[in-house]
Structure 1
């Protein structure tokens, strides 16, 4: 871990969704496609995993959690 930045890996879908909310507060998850989501996650501070190993299902899980967390604050 570097400083106060949490290290993020693909299996931490909830933590990634929360980081997306913090890092991109004006971005609406319902407007984000899977390719764009992949790029947003890669830009998160602390993201450490290999973008080439993510599955479509993992991206969908992140997107769903992101949507649920922003729809029901």
Structure 2
């Protein structure tokens, strides 16, 4: 997975962190959690606030 695979990342995050309040997760934590996902292989420097926000919104949709 890469940073642009926001929906795949959201699915994996929901599986890994089902107890998390998605709307209150800090982007610093989200950034670390994404990199820790199995199959994630992208440059950490390619992330930015816009991408993290897109991941957060996709995760929220996944939860609903």
How does the TM-score come out when normalised to structure 2?
0.90
- Residues 1:26 and 2:19 aligned together: yes
Q: Which has the higher contact order (CA 8 A, sep 6+)?
A: 2
| 2:61 corresponds to 1:36 | no
Gaps of 5+ in 1: 1-7
Deviant stretches of 4+, over 4 Å? none
Q: TM-score, normalised by structure 1?
A: 0.80
Max radius of gyration: which structure? 1
Indicate the RMSD between aligned Cα atoms, in angstroms: 1.0
Higher percent of residues as helix? 2
